[in-house]
Structure 1
């Protein structure tokens, strides 16, 4: 009988991450699944929970014990964003707590030996949402049959599994133990596991094996291919293996809620996972909320529907400009509007594409004097007052003050509104010729028109660019704004067809020494300033271009040094240099940061922090605040 357990709670240091607290539990069967239990279709809660569940200390964190039940309404603007339930649910092998420390979650505990050897201990009795045991076999299947299978993963295992190009030794001593060991430190391993978009280094082997050529009966697999209308078993396997997309209701999950809507388009329902591994101190299985209803609406309707009281929890799709209308609707809509801090390095950033396909323009964009001039030519104070009532922080793109690598001089670098200095830099470049309209000319005689592409999703971006258009006229530069659909914008940037684009700054503006610097190195195409350099790294040279600018090459070298460093002090020193290089070279032209993020919370919803940080990484937006602990007062 399930009565006593030990909670692996607190985090660790470089040598390990285990601490235990004795907790007496007598699990309570909730009302949501009681009918299924009574009918014999589902085991009782005592048999559904791991023998060592995770028991969060709610009181220590200022939370209240809740009561289960209710449906929580939220909204997204695209059907594909059902994946936000993986972000908000935030069940991870290890994850961040609210102090941004990495702690065990799905894992019972983890032993870390100098970032070289990681021994994972699974929770005995932990089960997938369909009731099948979650064991080391699920890790083995991913490693041996998916990640290193040439048909399913032609490029091999994901990059963070490599240290200096070498993969780890992976072993599975028993059904509750998994060991990863590298020849040198892999300091990004745990951080990657805790991300908003986790790598999922495990798979429900029992579900996917019937779709794998090494395990499936050939005739049965052929029939499955015919029914799915795909040509290869690998295509069928990959289609079904969508842990992050979260759009396959048949795929077992470890998240707090599981998708219950098949082939949905505008409305999706997620119901509580009967085998979820977390239990409150009273023995109530989490999540408290039974059902999450996710409605797909047009981007322009999110604020209006929130104002009408049609959501219980909403931040995605809301901007600071919506605060006034949200505040007005609080009484009639029965909600409150919290203003959280923002974890992105810049609320609005302009990215000159250093990999732009036009040779003459690329040479101009790569001249640091040009990027500095563009930055000096922006009146950030006017933008701040006009869009954020002066509540945001003006400055270039750099880390936020909560990071140990923050320097005030980096925020101010090339960010003062100085038209004279900007024009002097452009003249120094030799861009002195102008047309009859006063627009500067490129060396080949073309007018200096900068086309800045946007995703067309945030009115604040368009409003800010309207101010920049007027600012840059004083530099003899014409800015042309081109709104596009998000996916089209990204594809144009990645292909080198976009001259410049606007996006947020770094998702993680709060880096610590343990944070992987891959996003500040030329390693990701998602950083719009160097998409082809990022592709070169991400594909191990199969596509893209190697970095060929001195500062970018230095960032590349520093990122490799960070990955092989043995101490937090050394990693911190490397981080600081990388942050300084970005500030000096203005790879992205930050406008401002710290603009408050409105968060709409139903008056009935409890345990939602009034003061918090809205951040994709680290934090997974709502995830770090544990939505499974939110509950309705009635």
Structure 2
């Protein structure tokens, strides 16, 4: 990574993982591979990514074996492309952004991105991966209105304008925008990235511009596609792992389509990473994902039926899992959950009821609700005191963290809460001692839950008792995720309970998308997010000062040039959230159980989250190996 990027963008895109000179490395064949495959020197890139495991405090592993894990539904097979976490650039466990699939990235002035692929890199079927595969994505997929009628995705647009794209040579492409685009590289590192490359040698057969019309017609008939475009889209399945014919760059690839209950993912013999002893990664030959009832997965993990399990496990399962360790010879590692809060109560700022809208936007009301919650009691009752009581915000592991963000308006002070409610004018009460709204209705708050986490319902029961002490009645309403979103869209959702901010450990280089009203799927402010996403064609223009400022700051981040600018923007946004109590977070830092049975190089202390994190991905699952004993 060129040093001008480090100084101008502040991202740690260095070649830190490449610590062993290639000339001194003797590549070793992987036992058990198909003997008809080319030798390893012809399978890996001319300059593979060489991982110094000992420098990372890990052991050099032994290749081979199958790892069993459980998933709650068939479509979760796509998680193999999350856990494998091979990305053009990706985060390490220090939240540094590093080249991975790419050999290098050069960035000039925050707006010119030159990407260098690795010479000799190959897809899982042995076909070359090079500039043509990135060109095909940009020119023949996202720039083709037949395949992408909505036009270029947002991360490729700056002020509504796309980049100039150039193929410099076989291993080099360049994206050039008129203004800085700090969204571009973080987007490529996501758990579900846009995959700005495609196996062009495979997909062009189904493209109307390149493929044989008769072949396309026959293939379209097989899947009941009306034309080449829906056929192509069906074949183009980089994330979901449903098309077993599609080549990949990930460490494991699905090659069989013989079951929807048991998925076998096999090692990619052309994978680009090797360890410092010359062994090609991944170490594990096969990952076997077996579908089980999600409610039974904790019991099955306790019985030793999974060798690596975090999916479908929660904090409430820790006691049971710990009891089974000795009998079934596994360890329950406790990783830090990276959500801003394990449980967050979300007032809907764009609810259509005018009385409630005015009240919810009064920060004194939100402060009173927050002050009326004894978070220490919640932490003791629900999480054995192991969490951190406080707001829904960034965690201490984030370089943006300030203690005030967690504690402001989060202490338990029912006297102060009552005083604030009186100050607003909510002084009248009914015979049940419940305060009355200005129009005479009782102050009864319906908090909807998706019914996906028992701990949320347990928390609401406790919060309801606490709010009763300040004259507020809470009704928990079981619902479903889709229904809640529909009610938010209609403006009928008053308040909901959800997990906190997905990314509680951001750096200044990560976009503050969740902290601004720029997404229509946000339960706190759907109408504002819809307005932003549709560029004013839908939703409502923000008419609440904090929301307008958050949107301005988000737009400023999108055009920022330096880490200092982005840090200042993040700080102000986080301070607004702390001052306004937009989300009512309860407890953060709750531990995620990770069952490990006969698998080495799995850290006992880790972080578990979606973005950044990719569940196991940030800890590099391709470096895990099986204990032969």
Structure 1 length normalisation: TM-score? 0.93
2:622 corresponds in structure 1 to 628
| Cross-structure match for 2:44 | 49
> Corresponding residue for 2:397?
402
Question: Residue 339 of structure 1 contacts residue 596 of structure 1 at CA under 8 Å; is this kept in 2?
Answer: yes
Alpha-carbon distance in structure 2 between the residues aligned to 1:367 and 1:425: 11
Is 1:31 the counterpart of 2:51? The answer is no
Distance verdict in 2 for CA 1:12–1:315, change over 3 Å: farther
Q: Give the corresponding residue for 2:493.
A: 498
1:337 aligns with 2:293: no
Residue matched to 1:82: 77
1:422 has 2:417 as partner: yes
Distance 1:178 1:283, change over 3 A: same
Aligned to 1:5: none
CA displacement at 1:202 relative to structure 2: 1.3
| Contact kept in structure 2, 1:455 and 1:486, CA below 8 Å | yes
Residue 164 of structure 1 deviates from its aligned partner by 2.2
Give the match for residue 612 of structure 1.
606
Of 134, 137, 141, 2:132 maps to 137
Q: Alpha-carbon deviation of 1:487?
A: 4.1
SS of aligned partner of 1:347:
coil
> How far off its partner does 1:12 sit?
6.2
Per the TM alignment, residue 323 of structure 1 is displaced from its structure 2 partner at its CA by 1.1
The number of residues matched between the two structures is 621
Contact 1:141 1:205 in 2 (8 A): yes
Q: Is the 8 A contact 2:29 2:279 kept in 1?
A: yes
**Which residue in the other structure is 1:218 paired with?**
213
Q: Give 1:194 deviation, angstroms.
A: 1.2
Cα distance in structure 1, aligned partners of 2:243 and 2:477: 35
| Residue 533 (1) aligns with residue 528 (2) | yes
Moved more, 76-85 or 136-145: 76-85
Which aligned segments of 4 or more residues in structure 1 are displaced greater than 4 angstroms?
8-12, 15-21
Please tell me whether residue 102 in structure 1 is matched to residue 97 in structure 2.
yes
Work out whether residues 9 and 104 of structure 1, in 8 Å CA contact, stay in contact via their aligned partners in 2: no
C-alpha distance in structure 1 between counterparts of 2:515 and 2:307, whole Å = 36
Question: Could you tell which deviates more after superposition, 430-439 or 562-571?
Answer: 430-439
Q: Given the two structures, how large is their TM-score scaled by the length of structure 2? A: 0.94
- Distance change (3 Å), C-alpha of 1:365 and 1:238: farther
Deviation at 1:269, TM superposition (A): 1.7
- Structure 1, unaligned runs of 5 or more: 1-7
Following superposition, the deviation at residue 595 of structure 1 comes to: 1.3
Alpha-carbon distance, 1:484 to partner: 3.3
Residue equivalent to 1:175: 170
Q: 1:562 aligns with which of 535, 552, 557?
A: 557
Matches within 5 A, 1:246-261: 246-261=241-256
The one of 513, 523, 527 aligned to 2:518: 523
Q: In the TM superposition, what whole-angstrom CA distance separates every residue of 1:403-425 from its partner, at most 9, and x where no partner exists?
A: 23322222112211122222232
TM-aligned CA deviation for residue 478 of structure 1: 2.2
Q: For 1:582-623, what per-residue CA distance to the aligned partner results, in whole angstroms no more than 9, with x for missing partners?
A: 111111110011112211111x21001111221222221211
Q: Report deviation, 1:375.
A: 1.3
Residues 88-113 of structure 1 deviation map (CA, whole Å, 9 limit, x = unaligned): 10000011112111111000111122
How many Å separate the matches in 1 of 2:130 and 2:107?
A: 20
Aligned: 1:13 with 2:6: yes
Q: Which residue among 444, 452, 455 is the counterpart of 1:449?
A: 444
After superposition, give the CA deviation of every residue in 1:544-582 in whole Å (9 maximum; x if it has no partner).
333221111101111111222222112111110000001
What is the distance in 2 between the residues matched to 1:614 and 1:11?
Answer: 32
Assess, with a 3 A threshold, how the Cα gap between structure 1 residues 266 and 487 changes in structure 2: closer, same or farther: farther
CA distance 1:210–1:444, shift in 2 (3 Å)? farther
Distance 1:628 1:11 in 2: 31
Partner in structure 2 of residue 373 of structure 1: 368
Summarize the alignment of residues 321-332 of structure 1 with structure 2, pairs less than 5 Å apart.
Answer: 321-332=316-327
Match of 1:55, SS state, is strand
Q: Which residue in the other structure is 1:3 paired with? A: none
Alignment of 1:115-130 (within 5 A): 115-130=110-125
SS at match of 2:55: coil
> Does structure 1 retain, via aligned residues, the 8 Å contact 2:4–2:108?
no
TM-align CA RMSD? 2.2
Q: SS where residue 208 of structure 1 aligns?
A: helix
Matched ranges for 1:135-284 at <5 A = 135-262=130-257, 264-284=259-279
Return closer, same or farther for 1:341/1:248 CA change in 2, 3 Å cut-off. Answer: same
Q: Answer yes or no: is 1:73 the counterpart of 2:86.
A: no
Preserved CA contact (<8 Å) 2:13 2:96? no
**Whole-angstrom CA distance in 2 between matches of 1:130 and 1:107:** 19
Distance 1:453 1:268, change over 3 A: farther
Answer whether contact 2:372 2:417 (CA < 8 A) is retained: yes
- Per-residue deviation, residues 149-191 of structure 1 (Å, max 9, x unmatched): 2222222111121222221111111121011112222222211
Distance 1:443 1:84, change over 3 A: same
5+ long unaligned stretches in structure 2: none
- Distance, in Å, in 1 between the alignment partners of 2:300 and 2:258 is 24
CA apart distance, 1:326: 0.8
Deviates more, 1:350-359 or 1:489-498: 489-498
Residues 12 and 102 of structure 1 are in contact (CA less than 8 Å); yes or no, is this contact kept in structure 2?
no
8 Å CA contact retained: 1:161, 1:167? yes
Asked if 2 retains the 8 angstrom alpha-carbon contact of 1:377 and 1:472, the reply is: yes
Map of 1:574-613 to 2, 5 A cutoff?
574-602=569-597, 604-613=598-607
